[in-house]
């Protein structure tokens, strides 16, 4: 399914108009679709319906809905929240509504009357702000928000609850909390992002006459990952095969004070079907790996004074790189002069697809241009803080502009970016964008990222394209996280439980 930002939505709208629709017709469909859904929820005849009406086209949608609900016998009160100087389209629909028996509360009506109208409403339509909103709710809206949030009415938000920025999911603390959000033509990022999702209630998509094929073709659209898409990206297996057919993954990482990370990434890689995993790590790390995993093989590397892989191991690493069909570098690696040099060496001389995670990325952060030296495709898997180190942008900017930041980095350095967060975003060098909706707070624990890196690297080693490996990996990892949370709760689940859930999720997906 395609998700459209506010600017992509404008493109969809203009394409629809070029093809013979009109802005007026789109608004009519949005308002009528809303009224139809409300009529499906409740018999409004003789009941109180309050419309909180803004100045823009979101308000216009509310006025169209009010007209249809008035025809169905509802007692309508329109409350002008932001004044009465409406957009041209909204004004035209206000003119139509004025011909009906509808009560209007002017902007200068006493606050008590407006609060009373909200209090006694059976259905409350939030049509103050839609895709045009950003920043903070103005005082005129805030003074009504509390009453709206406390009202017993069925609360229906049009497009997005007012107070939410539809592209970033940033929500004003006084955002109107909806029971239902009816959104038009396509979902917006705020309907998926976990910051805003809980404020939307039940989200329903209303067709306003823009064909799905036109929405799918909008270049700036963002694809929401689904089980079906992920399943299609998992490499196939043949009965007539041997371990050599499923790839050889070289997992470079570990240092004496972080031994668990390579264990987690190796186990998750093996659970996802790779033929062989070789762990290249300092000897003390390999002892820990050996006590946990029976199925992988080892390449013991010399240890530096700080306990990480020493640069003296570079020749041995070159040989191992010749063996592998894909690589993973960074889990528990640590950051020091030796590992920085090693990471640069692996990027510039490894001729196979490579996943760079965690400290691998922290080693790159001072000079991300080294990514351009890669001889084969690279996937980077930064969380927001690591992306901040890589780009020099603040965590806040990255969170608010996650799609652009990921897409620009992918384009600039020619890598596939898996920008991890409560909603992980995938961006390719060709600006294809994906977002993940599943997963839960139980994944917000040290080690979850290592599990994801192993899953993606496993698919890559089996021959999946970087995009397919990222799509399958991100979805499967989050789904395994959801399964682990079902069994253990988000509090108690561990990254190891996520690995244990992978087989069951694979069974469902395949």
Ligand X SMILES: NC(=O)C1=CN([C@@H]2O[C@H](COP(=O)(O)OP(=O)(O)OC[C@H]3O[C@@H](n4cnc5c(N)ncnc54)[C@H](O)[C@@H]3O)[C@@H](O)[C@H]2O)[C@@H](O)CC1
Ligand Y SMILES: Nc1ncnc2c1ncn2[C@@H]1O[C@H](COP(=O)(O)OP(=O)(O)O)[C@@H](O)[C@H]1O
Distance CA 373, CA 370 (A): 5
* Spatial distance between the Cα atoms of 332 and 383, rounded to a whole number of angstroms: 15
- Which does residue 126 bind out of ligand Y, K ion, ligand X, none, counting CB within 5 to 8 angstroms by kind? K ion
- 146 assigned to a ligand binding site: no
27 is a contact residue toward ligand X (CB under 6 A): yes
By the rule CB under 6 A, 395 interacts with ligand Y: no
CA distance 414 to 347: 13
Q: Could you give the CA distance from residue 129 to residue 134 in angstroms, rounded to a whole number?
A: 9
CA distance 205 to 198: 17
Residue 48's DSSP bridge partners are: 75
Contacting ligand X within 85-104 (CB under 6 A): 87
CA-to-CA separations, 289 to 265, 279, 441, 446, 503, in angstroms, rounded: 11, 8, 28, 18, 21
Nearer to ligand Y, 304 or 424 (CB): 424
Instruction: Check if the beta carbon of residue 329 is closer than 8 Å to that of residue 348.
Output: no
Q: How far is the CB of 24 from ligand X (least distance, A)?
A: 9
Q: Which stretch binds ligand X (CB under 6 A): 129-137, 225-233, 457-465, 493-501?
A: 129-137
Tell me which residues in 37-66 interact with K ion (CB under 5 A). Answer: none
Q: How far is CA 176 from the centre of its chain?
A: 23
CA-based nearest residue to 483, from 450, 443, 445: 443
Of 162 and 423, nearer to K ion (C-beta) is: 162
* Alpha carbons 221 and 431: distance in angstroms, whole number: 10
Dist. CA 191–CA 193, nearest whole Å: 6
The answer to whether residue 420 forms part of the interface with ligand Y (CB under 6 A) is yes
**C-beta closer to ligand Y: residue 31 or 454:** 454
Stretch that binds ligand X, among 54-62, 246-254, 358-366, 367-375 (CB under 6 A): 54-62
172 is an annotated ligand-binding site residue: no
68 lies in the binding site for ligand X (CB under 6 A): no
Calculate Rg over the CA atoms of the chain. 27
Confirm if 247 and 461 have CB atoms less than 8 A apart: yes
Is 359 part of any known ligand binding site? no
**320 is in the binding site of which of ligand Y, ligand X, K ion, none (Cβ under 5 to 8 A by kind)?**
none
Instruction: Say if residue 300 is exposed, middle or buried (CB neighbours under 10 Å; 0-12, 13-18, 19+).
Output: middle
Residue 130 is labelled as binding a ligand:
yes
Q: Which does 447 bind (CB under 5 to 8 A by kind): K ion, ligand X, ligand Y, none?
A: ligand Y
**Phi, psi dihedral angles at 369 (to 5 degrees):** -60, -20
Among 444, 487, 492, 508, binds ligand Y (CB under 6 A): 444
Give me the 147-166 binding string for K ion, x by CB under 5 A, dash otherwise.
Answer: ----------xx---x----
* Residue 157 interacting partner from ligand X, K ion, ligand Y, none (CB closer than 5 to 8 Å by kind): K ion
Q: To which residue do tokens 């949030």 refer?
A: 149
304 known ligand binder: no
Tell whether residue 359 is a contact of ligand Y (CB under 6 A): no
CA gap 254, 298 in Å, rounded: 12
424 belongs to the binding site for ligand Y (CB under 6 A): yes
Give burial (CB, 10 Å; 0-12/13-18/19+) of 319: exposed
Tell me the C-alpha distance between 375 and 352, whole Å. Answer: 7
- Consult the annotation and say whether 261 binds a ligand: yes
57 binds ligand X (CB under 6 A): yes
Contact between 82 and K ion (CB under 5 A)? no
| Binding site feature residues for K(+) | 58, 126, 162
Site residues (vs ligand Y, CB under 6 A): 358, 383, 420-422, 424, 439-441, 443-444, 446-450, 452, 477-478
Site residues (vs K ion, CB under 5 A): 126, 157-158, 162
| Binding site feature residues | 57-61, 126, 130-136, 159, 162, 261, 332, 383, 420-424, 449-450
| Binding site feature residues for AMP | 420-424, 449
Site residues (vs ligand X, CB under 6 A): 9-10, 13, 26-27, 30, 54-61, 87, 129-136, 138, 158-159, 184-185, 208
């Amino acid at each position: 399914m395609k998700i459209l930002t506010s600017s992509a939505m404008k493109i969809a709208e203009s394409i629809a108009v070029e093809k013979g629709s009109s802005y007026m017709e789109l608004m009519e469909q949005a308002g009528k679709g809303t009224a139809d859904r409300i009529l499906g929820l409740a018999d409004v005849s003789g009941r109180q319906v309050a419309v909180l009406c803004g100045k823009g086209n979101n308000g216009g949608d509310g006025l169209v809905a009010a007209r249809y609900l008035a025809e169905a016998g509802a007692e309508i009160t329109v409350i002008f929240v932001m004044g009465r100087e409406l957009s041209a389209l909204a004004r035209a629909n206000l003119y139509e509504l004025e011909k009906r028996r509808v009560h209007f509360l002017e902007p200068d009506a006493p606050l008590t009357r407006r609060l009373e109208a909200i209090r006694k409403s059976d259905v409350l339509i939030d049509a103050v702000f839609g895709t045009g909103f950003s920043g903070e709710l103005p005082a005129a809206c805030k003074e009504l928000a509390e009453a709206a949030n406390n009202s017993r009415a069925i609360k229906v938000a049009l497009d997005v609850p007012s107070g939410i920025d539809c592209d970033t999911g940033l929500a004003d603390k006084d955002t109107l909390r909806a029971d239902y959000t009816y959104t038009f033509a396509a979902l917006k990022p705020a309907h998926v992002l976990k910051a805003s999702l809980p404020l939307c209630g039940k989200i329903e998509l209303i067709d306003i006459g823009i064909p799905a094929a036109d929405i799918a073709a909008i270049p700036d659209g963002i694809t929401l990952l689904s089980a079906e898409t992920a399943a299609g990206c998992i490499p196939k297996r043949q009965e007539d095969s041997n371990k050599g057919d499923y790839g050889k993954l070289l997992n470079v990482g570990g240092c004496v004070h972080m031994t668990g990370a390579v264990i987690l990434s190796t186990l998750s890689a093996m659970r996802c079907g790779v033929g062989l995993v070789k762990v290249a790590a300092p000897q003390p790390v390999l002892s820990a790996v050996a006590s946990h995993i029976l199925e992988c093989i080892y390449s013991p590397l010399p240890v530096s004074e700080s306990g990480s892989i020493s640069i003296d191991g570079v020749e041995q690493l070159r040989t191992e790189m010749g063996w592998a069909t894909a690589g993973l570098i960074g889990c528990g690696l640590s950051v020091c002069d030796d590992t920085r040099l090693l990471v640069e060496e692996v990027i510039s001389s490894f001729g196979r697809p490579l996943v760079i995670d965690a400290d691998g990325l922290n080693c790159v952060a001072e000079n991300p241009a080294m990514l351009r030296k890669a001889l084969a495709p690279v996937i980077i898997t930064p969380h927001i803080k690591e992306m901040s180190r890589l780009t020099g942008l603040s965590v806040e900017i990255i969170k608010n502009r996650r799609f652009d930041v990921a897409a620009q980095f992918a384009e600039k350095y020619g890598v596939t970016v898996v920008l991890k967060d409560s909603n992980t975003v995938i961006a390719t060098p060709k600006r294809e964008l994906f977002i993940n909706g599943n997963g839960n707070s139980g994944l917000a624990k040290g080690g979850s990222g290592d599990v994801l890196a192993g899953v993606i690297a496993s698919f890559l080693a089996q021959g999946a394209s970087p995009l397919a490996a990222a799509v399958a990996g991100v979805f499967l990892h989050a789904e395994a996280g959801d399964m682990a949370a079902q069994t253990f709760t988000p509090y108690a689940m561990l990254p190891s439980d996520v690995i244990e859930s992978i087989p069951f999720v694979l069974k469902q997906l395949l």
